[in-house]
Structure 1
Amino acid sequence: MPSLTNREAAERPLRIAVLADSDTRWKWGALTAQRLVEPQGTAVIDGMLLRGRATPTERQLQDTGVRGAHAREVTASGFLAAAGQPDAYDVVLLSCVGGTVQAMLHGLAHQWRGRERRPTVVTGYVGVVYEKLTDGLLLRHGADMVLANSAYDAERFRAVYAGVGAGTDGVVECALPFLGGARYTPSDERPHTVTFAVQPSVPETRQDRLYLLRRAVGHARKHPEREVLIKLRSKPGEHTTHVEELPYQRLAERLPGGLPVNCRLVYGHMGEVLDRTDLLVTVSSTAALESLHRSVPTAVLTDLGVRESLGNHYFVGSGCLTSWDRLDAGEVPRADPEWTARQGVAADEPYEAAFDTARKRLAELLCAELPPVAPYYTTTTAGGYLPGILARHGLSPDGSPDPSAAGAPAGGVGGAARRVVRRAARGAYRQGVQRVAPVIRRMGGL
C-alpha cells in the first residue's frame, strides 16, 4: 500500500476498518473514525463487530446514534484476514477491550510482516478511564495512535508509558467523539425532567441497585411536578460492554406499588434523552461527561460511598458529587469549569477543535513509511501473560493463526447450523448470567 500524499488524503475518502466488540465501543469507534476525517474529508467505514457475548443487537446499534456507517459480525480470524488484504484499508481502528486490542496488534503485525507499506492503527478508550489504567494502556501499546479523551488522560497515558520505558509518541489528545449536542437551556414547555442514567455493572449487588432504584422512584413521589426518567442501557437478554446480571427492568417489576405516573423506564440514544433533561443523575456513567459538555446540571451520587470500585472517585473535584437526599431537598450541583476543561468537556474552544491535533497526526502517519507494528508486550517482556491473551483469540505466541483453534469453514448447511447453535448458546449464557447466577448467590447467602 503506497503512502498517501497530503493531496491524495484530502481528495479521496479514507478507507477505515473499525473493529468493535460491543454497542458502546461501536459508537466510539465509528464516530471517532468520522471525527478524524471531518470536516475536510470523508471516510468509507467498513464496520466489523467481533462475535462474542456482547455482540450488539440491531436495536442497540440504532440506539448508538451512529449514522452513515454499518457493521457486520466477524470472528477475530475473519477480521485479521480482511485487514491483511493488500490495499484494503488506510486506517485500522480498534475499539475493543484491552486484551482484544493486544491480540489484534500481534495478529496484524504477523499479517503485515515484510510489507513495504501498511495501514495506520488507531485505538483508545470509550469513556472515563477509572480502573486498570496501567494494564489497559500497555495492552494498547503498539498502535500508531492511542487517543486520549482529555488533557488529563494524555498526561496519565504518557506517564505510564514513560515509566515502563515504552514509547510515548503514540499518545494523542482529542475528545470523546459523541459529546456535541445543544447547550442546555431551561424550558417552561415541559415538566422539569430528572434522568437517572443507570449502568450495567455499577453497582453490582441487588441491594445497592434496589436502593438506587427506590431513591429515583422516591424522588418522583416527592416531586410530582417533575418527570423522572430511568435511562436503561439494554433490554433483558441484550448485553453491552459489561454484563448486567440484575437488570433494572426486573427490579422495577417487583417494586411495591410499581412506578408512579411521573416515573418511567426509557431506552434510546443518550443524546436525544439529554435534549429533554434538566438534571442528569448517575453513579459514574460516561453520560455524565455528555451532560456536562452540554452544561446540563449533573449529579454524581455519593449514596454508596465515593469508591474506586464504583468509579465515582473520578469525579472528585468536579463539583458534581452529591446525594439523593440533597437532590430531594432541591440542590442543583454546579460543575467546576476548570475541572470540566481538564476532562475535555465544556472547554472554551469549539468542540471540533479538540480533534485538530489527532487529524494532523493521522495525516502525517498516512504520508509516512511506518515501521512494523511493535507492541510493548512480547514473549520476551511478558512471556507468562501474552501467550494466554493471544490464545483466547486463536493466535499463536508469534501472532500467527493457531491451527488448533481454527474451525471448519463457514457457509453451507454447517455454517447455518453453527449460527443457530451460536444464538442458542448466547441465549443460554444470558439466561444463566441474569437469572440463574443471582438465585445461586442468594441461596448461598442464606
Structure 2
Amino acid sequence: MPASATNAPRVAVLADSDTRWKWGALTARRLLPEGAEVRLDGYLLRGRATPTARQLREVGVRADSLREVTAVQFLSALPEEPYDVLVLALVGGGVQAMLHGLKRAWQGRAERPVVVTGYVGVVYEKLADGLLLRHGADLVLANSRQDAERFRAVYEGVGADAGAVTEVALPFLGGEPYTGEHDPCTVVFAAQPSVPESRKDRAYLLDRLVRHARLHPEREVLLKLRSKPGEHTTHLEELPYQKLAQKAGPLPPNLRLVYGNMGEVLDRTDLLVTVSSTAALESLHRRIPTAVLTDLGVREVLGNHHFTGSGCLVSWDQLDAGHRPEPDPEWLARQGVAADGDYATAFDAARERIAKLLGRPGGLPPLTPYYTNETAPGYLPGILARHHLAPDGSPLPGAPAADKEPGPVRQIVRRAARGAYRHGVQRVAPVIRRMGEL
C-alpha cells in the first residue's frame, strides 16, 4: 500500500551526481502538495561522479536518509520500501537500466510508486537518444513549454506513447528579483565542466575574464566554479579553470575564484556571463542582466544555440564596452523562467497527474519502456550491462551482492580507484591528447 494511505508521503531519489541530486531532491519536494510533510530518502548511485561530502553540503538539500548504492543494491532494496514517488535523477542510460530492473523487481505486485524522471537543465544535445532512454517512466518532466513540445514530437515520431511528458519548470528557480546595481558592481562568469572542451578555448575565456577585471578595476569579478580539482560533477572536467588560472600568473586583485550555492552568488550579481550554463536561466528568472557569449561561435556543441532568440547573445568586446543584453519576453515565457507569477503553479499539472496515478484502482500498470529486446536488441543489452543487469533486468552473474556492504579494505580500494580515475581524466588524458597533436 502506498505510504500516503497511512502517513506522510514517502519519496525516494536516486541520483548519480551533485547536480542531479539537487534537481531530483528539489523536484521531489515540488511534486508533493504544498506544505505537506514529506519523508525524503536519497540514494547516490556509485560511479565516477558520486558526489563528495563537500559537494552535497554546497547543494544544500537535506534528506531524511542518504546512502551510496550500486544499481543492484538499489533494485534489491527499493521494492521493500513503501514509497509513493521515485525520482530517477540519472543520465539516460541509468534511467533505462533502472526502468528495466524495476519492471522485473515489481513483477506481480499490485502497488508500486509513481516513477518520475527528467533533465537537470537545458537539453541541447542527444535529444532523441536521451528521451528514448527515459521513456517508460510514468512522468517525463519537461522544464518548459518548448521542451514539452519537443519531447512529445520525438516520442510520437517513433510511435511511442507521449502521455508521460509533463510540463513543469526547473525546481531551483527562485530568489529575490534583481532591484539594481550593487556596490561594487559584481560580474560573475559561470564556468562549466565540459563547455568549452579544449584548453585553447578555456584559456581564451579565462584571459577575457582577466582582461575585463583589469579594464574595470572598480568592479568585483567572480569566476564561479562548480567543483574543486579531483571532484566530478554531471560532466567530466579535464581542464579545471583553477589550474589554468595558476599557470596564467597573478590574477587582478578584483578577480576571485568562488564556490558555493549558485543562488547565494546570484544574490550579489549584477551581470551573469556564461557560455550556456543553466545558471543563465536562474539569472534570467530573477531579472539579472545575463550574457550568453558568442566569442567561440553559436554552436550546438557549445549549447549556446539554445539561446537564439533570447536577446542574450553577446561578445566579451560588447560587455567590456558596457553593453547589457535585454532578454526577449516571449522567449523567456517559452522557457518557463519568466518571474511573473506563473512559476508558483508550474508543478500543478505534475501533482495532479501523480495524485491520479496513486489513486488508480488496482494500482499502476507495469513499466513499459520503448526500448526492449525486440525494438533495440543491439543497443539495450549494452546499456543494462553497464549497471550489471542482464537483458531481462536481472543481476548479471558476478554483480556486487545486493545485501552486502563492502568491507573497510574494499572501501579504501574503491576510493583509491575513483581518485586514480579522476587523476587520469584531469592530468593524464590531456597530456596524451597534447602528445597526439605533436
Structure 1 length-normalised TM: 0.95
The alpha carbon displacement at 1:69 in A equals 4.9
**Aligned residue identity for 2:103:** A
Match of 1:205 among 193, 198, 208: 198
- Does residue 387 of structure 1 match 2:370? no
Match of 1:21 among 16, 23, 27: 16
The superposition leaves residues 2-29 of structure 1 with CA deviations (integer Å, 9 ceiling, x where unpaired) of 596xxx4xx8421111000000000000
Match of 1:253 among 233, 246, 251: 246
* 1:374-413 aligned within 5 A: 374-407=368-401, 410-411=404-405
SS state of the match for residue 405, structure 1?
coil
The alpha carbon displacement at 1:91 in A equals 1.2
Match of 2:328 among 336, 342, 347: 336
SS state of the match for residue 256, structure 2?
strand
The superposition leaves residues 223-262 of structure 1 with CA deviations (integer Å, 9 ceiling, x where unpaired) of 0010100000000000000110000000000113x11010
Match of 1:241 among 210, 226, 234: 234
SS state of the match for residue 158, structure 1?
helix
Q: Which moved more, 1:137-146 or 1:31-40?
A: 31-40
1:409 touches 1:415 (CA, 8 Å); kept in 2? no
* 1:188-203 aligned within 5 A: 188=182, 190-203=183-196
- Does residue 421 of structure 1 match 2:417? no
* 1:197-346 aligned within 5 A: 197-256=190-249, 258-346=250-338
In structure 1, the residue matched to 2:178 is: 184
In structure 2, the residue matched to 1:434 is: 426
Query: Residues 169 and 3 (structure 1 numbering): CA distance in 2 closer, same or farther, change over 3 Å?
Result: farther
- Does residue 172 of structure 1 match 2:166? yes
The alpha carbon displacement at 1:407 in A equals 4.8
**Aligned residue identity for 2:324:** V
Which runs of no fewer than 5 residues in structure 1 stay unpaired? none
Q: Distance in 2 between matches of 1:70 and 1:235?
A: 25
1:229 touches 1:263 (CA, 8 Å); kept in 2? yes
The alpha carbon displacement at 1:404 in A equals 3.3
Q: Distance in 2 between matches of 1:187 and 1:445?
A: 46
Match of 1:161 among 137, 151, 155: 155
Q: Distance in 2 between matches of 1:361 and 1:138?
A: 21
The superposition leaves residues 157-216 of structure 1 with CA deviations (integer Å, 9 ceiling, x where unpaired) of 11111111111110110000000110011145x200000000000000000000000101
Query: Residues 56 and 305 (structure 1 numbering): CA distance in 2 closer, same or farther, change over 3 Å?
Result: same
In structure 2, the residue matched to 1:76 is: 71
The superposition leaves residues 118-168 of structure 1 with CA deviations (integer Å, 9 ceiling, x where unpaired) of 111000000000100000000000000001001110011111111111111
1:195 touches 1:229 (CA, 8 Å); kept in 2? yes
**Aligned residue identity for 2:312:** C
* 1:71-110 aligned within 5 A: 71-85=66-80, 87-110=81-104
The superposition leaves residues 53-93 of structure 1 with CA deviations (integer Å, 9 ceiling, x where unpaired) of 000111111111314555211111111112121x5211111
Q: Distance in 1 between matches of 2:66 and 2:316?
A: 40
Match of 1:129 among 120, 123, 126: 123
Match of 1:33 among 28, 32, 36: 28
- Does residue 145 of structure 1 match 2:144? no
The alpha carbon displacement at 1:444 in A equals 1.9
Matched pairs, number: 436
Task: Please give the root-mean-square deviation of Cα atoms over the aligned residues, in Å.
Answer: 1.5
In structure 2, the residue matched to 1:46 is: 41
Match of 1:373 among 367, 371, 374: 367
Moved over 4 A (4+): none
The alpha carbon displacement at 1:415 in A equals 1.6
SS state of the match for residue 370, structure 2?
coil
The alpha carbon displacement at 1:40 in A equals 4.2
2:41 touches 2:63 (CA, 8 Å); kept in 1? no
Which runs of no fewer than 5 residues in structure 2 stay unpaired? none
